[in-house]
Amino acid sequence: EAAVTQSPRNKVTVTGGNVTLSCRQTNSHNYMYWYRQDTGHGLRLIHYSYGAGNLQIGDVPDGYKATRTTQEDFFLLLELASPSQTSLYFCASSDKISNERLFFGHGTKLSVL
């Protein structure tokens, strides 16, 4: 089964801080996604990518940048973190354009003080 590994598992930073969340997937999936999970909102799509060098804007992109450096690696960047970005972040990957099945990482819990 495909594996998606996120790091770190937990992160605490201060307002205005610089944070990078990392995601690596095996199985050579083309599509990778970053979601945030907040109570009452379910999962909301931040950014996604079709492949190395490609980046697409999701539904809640403000305050976030992303970069897909290789087929395997997808990074989420918060350059000026704010308390509103305190959340649980999930990375996911899929191998079909129809999003038949997403494989999720275990999540990164980010706290911005």
Partner 1 sequence: AQSVTQPDARVTVSEGASLQLRCKYSYSGTPYLFWYVQYPRQGLQLLLKYYSGDPVVQGVNGFEAEFSKSNSSFHLRKASVHWSDSAVYFCVVTGGNNKLTFGQGTVLSVIP
Q: Return the range that interacts with partner 1 (CB under 8 A); candidates 19-27, 66-74, 75-83, 102-110.
A: 102-110
Residue 106 per-residue DSSP state: -
Based on the shown chain and the rule CB under 8 A, indicate whether residue 62 belongs to the binding site for partner 1. no
Look up tokens 């990778």; give the residue: 32
> Of residues 23, 76, 81, 92, which one binds partner 1 by CB under 8 A?
92
* Distance in angstroms (rounded) separating the CA atoms of residues 31 and 39: 26
* Distance in angstroms (rounded) separating the CA atoms of residues 101 and 113: 35
Residue 83 per-residue DSSP state: G
Based on the shown chain and the rule CB under 8 A, indicate whether residue 89 belongs to the binding site for partner 1. no
Residues at the site binding partner 1, with contacts judged by CB under 8 A = 4, 31, 35, 40-45, 48, 50, 56, 58-59, 90, 92, 97-102, 104-107
